[in-house]
Amino acid sequence: MKGFLKKAKAEYHGFVGDTERASQQPDCKSDRPPPLPTHPNVLQHQRQSEYPTQSKYQHQPQSLPGMSLDSPNLIKDPTPEDILRYRYHHGTNLGSIYVLERWLHPSLFHDDTQGSSELEAVKGWVEKIGMEATKRKFEEHWRNAVTDADIEWLRDRAKCTTIRLPVGYFSLSHPSLTENTPFSPYHHIYAAAWSSIRTLISRLRAHSIGTLLDLHALPGGANKADHSGTNTGVARLWTSSPNRDLGVRCCQFLAQEVKGGLAGVVGIQVANEADWESEGMWEWYDDCIAAISEVDASIPVVISDGWNLGQAIEYSLKKNVAYPDRPTCPIIIDTHHYWTFSDADKQKSPEEIIQDVDTKLHELDSKEGDVITRGAVQVLIGEYSSVMSEETWSKAASRSRSQLTQTFAHRQTHLHTTRTAGSFFWTLNMDWPPGGSWGFRDQTDCGNIVPPHYSSIPDHEIGTLLQRAQHRRDERMYKAVTEHVQYWTHLTPNSGAEHWRYEFGWKVGFGDAYIFFEGRGRQAVRPGNRIGALELWVLKRIRECGFRGRFVWEFEQGVRRGVGDFGAVVGWF
C-alpha cells in the first residue's frame, strides 16, 4: 500500500475543507450526527438506500474520478449460500461414518479383521457374511449415523453452523471412480453411499447447518494413516499418475454435484492431512483447483497445509489474487492442531501446552489485511480436540484435570474465533459416546467447547440490534469516511486519491455484515452470523466491484471498516 501512496498524485484537496465545515455545523434539531457534506458527492450517493432494502448496491456512484478505468459493478446482496460459506464456522467433524476408523467404530469391524481401515472392514465382512449382507450393514450405519434429534442438538444446543464431513473416493458411488483401485471389487457395497451423503447434507441444510465436503480418503492415500482408507502405510497418491488423475476427477465430480443443485455445501476439501513435503502436492492442488473452477469458480476450495502452514500461506497468497487471469475458486487452508501425539508435546505439562496454544498461527502475522497488494489468505482449523496425553497429565501441577481441560479448550476456541474462518472439533460420532475429550457432545455439554457469544443472542434481540445498526449507520459512515479523508489528505496532499471508493466500500461492508447478521429465515439461514472468512469475502467483493486503477485499495479498506463498524455496533467482538 505504501507504494501506491508514494506514487499517488491529484486532486481531492477541497474535500477535507468541505468535510470540516460540515462537521462544524451540527444539526441542532435532532440527535443525529452532523449533516453530510453536499459537495463533492463522496458521502452522498446511496443515502436514500436504508435497511432493509431490495438491494443495498442498486445505487452506485456515477461519473467520479477514476471510473473510466472500471468494469461493470457485479456486487449483489449476499445470498443464503454466501452466508453459509463465508460466516464463521463453529462446527464439528462427523467422524468415522463414510471413512471408517476402528478406534472410533470398532463395531463396524469383524472380530477376525486384523486391519483398522475402511478397506479392511469391508473385506472382513464380505469374507464372513457376503456382499449383500455387508451392503445392508454399511447402509444401516450410514442411515443411522445422525438422527433428527442429533441435528436439533447441533443447531440449538451446540450452535453448530457447519459440519466437516469426511468422505472417501469410494463413497461417491460411481464405478469409474473406484476402477483399478483396491475398492473396485466392493463398489456395489457403496452404490447407495453418495445418495446417503446427499440426503444428510440436505437434512443439515434444512436446519441452517452447512457441510464442508472433505475428501478424507483419496486414491492411494494422501498420507500413510488408516483414515486414508487402507492400511498400506504408504501415501501412494503423490507417486502415482493414475491416482493423482483419479483424485482430480473426484474433485470434479463433487463440484458438478454442487453446481447441479446440492445446496448447503460450504466448500470442497481436496485432501486431508497431506504428508509433509509430499511430492508434487502443490502442482496437484493446481490441477484440482482448475478442475473445480472450470465447473463453478464460486465454490471455496480447502487444501491441507501438509503440516507446513507457512508454505501453504505463500501458495494461497499467489492463488487468491484480486485479478486472476480467469475465474478461479477462493482457496482456504486447513491446518490441524493436536497436542497429543508428538514426543515433544508428551514432554510438556498441561500448563505448558495451554501456554503453547497462543503461539499457533503466527505464520499469519503481516499476511492479512491487504488483498490488493499481497493476495488473500484464510485459515480454518479442520481438526482439534481437548485431549492431552497421559504423559502430559502426569506432569500436572495443581489444578484439577477438568479445570485444565476447560482452560485448554477455551484457549483454543478463543484463538479460532479471533484468527481463523472457523474450526471443527474431532469428533461427533463414535461407538462410545459421549466421547470424553474426543467428543464434541461431551465437551459442549460440559462447557469446554463454547460457541461464539453472538450465536446465542435470542432472535428478538437480534431484531433490536439490527434496528440499532440502522439508526447508527450514517453516524458511523460519516465518522469513518471523514477520518479516512482527513488522514490521507494530510499524509499525501494532492495525491489524486479517489475517496469515493472508500465510502462505497464502507457501504458494501456494512450492508454485507447486516445481511449476515440478519440471516435469511425464509431460506433456512438462521440469524446471528458473523463474516468469518473476512479475507476471502473482501477478495470476493474486490473481484465483483469492477474497480481498477491505483486506488482500489481504498475500496478494500472501506469494506473492512464497514464490516468492523457493524460488528462494533451489534457487539460481535
Q: Print the SS3 string covering 219-232.
A: CCCCCCCHHHCCCC
- Report residue 464 as a C-alpha cell: 433490536
d(CA 572, CA 462): 12
pLDDT band at 383 (very low <50, low <70, confident <90, very high): very high
Share of the chain above pLDDT 90, in %: 86
Question: Of how many residues is the chain composed?
Answer: 573
Over residues 360-368, the mean pLDDT reads 98
Question: Could you give the 3-state DSSP secondary structure of residue 524?
Answer: coil
Q: Does 13 have pLDDT greater than 90?
A: no
Q: What is the pLDDT of residue 58?
A: 45
Over residues 400-422, the mean pLDDT reads 98
Over residues 87-91, the mean pLDDT reads 99
- Give tens-digit pLDDT for 281-322: 999 999 999 999 999 999 999 999 999 999 999 999 999 999
d(CA 405, CA 396): 11
- Report residue 439 as a C-alpha cell: 467428543
Q: Does 144 have pLDDT greater than 80?
A: yes
Q: What is the pLDDT of residue 342?
A: 96
pLDDT higher at 40 or 340: 340
Please say whether the dihedral angle defined by the alpha carbons of residues 122, 127, 128 and 130, taken in this order, is positive or negative. positive
d(CA 384, CA 381): 7
d(CA 74, CA 87): 21
Q: What is the pLDDT of residue 55?
A: 52
Residue 529: partners with Cβ closer than 8 Å, 6 or more residues away: 83, 87, 88, 161, 516, 517, 519
Average pLDDT for the chain: 91
Q: Report whether 562 contacts 510 (CB < 8 A).
A: yes
pLDDT band at 46 (very low <50, low <70, confident <90, very high): very low
pTM, 2 dp: 0.90
Output phi, psi for 506, to 5 deg.
Answer: -60, -45
d(CA 380, CA 237): 24
What is the full DSSP assignment across 280-341? THHHHHHHHHHHHHHH-TTS-EEEE-TT-HHHHHHHHHHHS-SS-SS----EEEEEEEEESS
Place of cell 481436496: 270
Beta carbons within 10 angstroms of residue 460's beta carbon? 7
Q: Which of 43-47, 392-396, 413-417 has the lowest mean pLDDT?
A: 43-47
Q: What is the pLDDT of residue 526?
A: 97
- Give tens-digit pLDDT for 490-500: 999 888 899 99
Place of cell 502430559: 392
Maximum distance among all Cα pairs of the chain, rounded to whole angstroms? 87
| Amino acid at residue number 285 | Y
Residue 543: partners with Cβ closer than 8 Å, 6 or more residues away: 322, 323, 324
Q: Locate the domains of the chain by residue range.
A: 2-80+458-570, 89-338+359-382
d(CA 306, CA 259): 28
The single-letter DSSP state of residue 104 is T
Print the SS3 string covering 470-484: HHHHHHHHHHHHHHH
Beta carbons within 10 angstroms of residue 57's beta carbon? 21
In the beta sheet, which residues pair with residue 210?
A: 162
In terms of C-beta density within 10 A (0-12 exposed, 13-18 middle, 19 or more buried), how is residue 77 classed?
A: middle
Q: What is the pLDDT of residue 63?
A: 74
Over residues 476-483, the mean pLDDT reads 98
Over residues 533-551, the mean pLDDT reads 98
- Give tens-digit pLDDT for 208-222: 999 999 999 999 999
Q: What is the pLDDT of residue 62?
A: 67
d(CA 217, CA 219): 7
Q: What is the pLDDT of residue 15?
A: 34
- Report residue 85 as a C-alpha cell: 460459506
d(CA 121, CA 190): 13
Q: What is the pLDDT of residue 496?
A: 86
d(CA 429, CA 433): 7
Q: What is the pLDDT of residue 6?
A: 35
What is the full DSSP assignment across 556-572? HHHHHHHHHHHHHHHT-
Beta carbons within 10 angstroms of residue 69's beta carbon? 12
Q: Does 16 have pLDDT greater than 70?
A: no
In terms of C-beta density within 10 A (0-12 exposed, 13-18 middle, 19 or more buried), how is residue 470 classed?
A: middle
- Give tens-digit pLDDT for 174-190: 999 999 999 999 999 99
The CATH code that applies to domain 89-338+359-382 is 3.20.20.80
pLDDT band at 572 (very low <50, low <70, confident <90, very high): confident
| CA atoms within 13 A of residue 256's CA, in its CB half-sphere | 8
d(CA 212, CA 274): 17
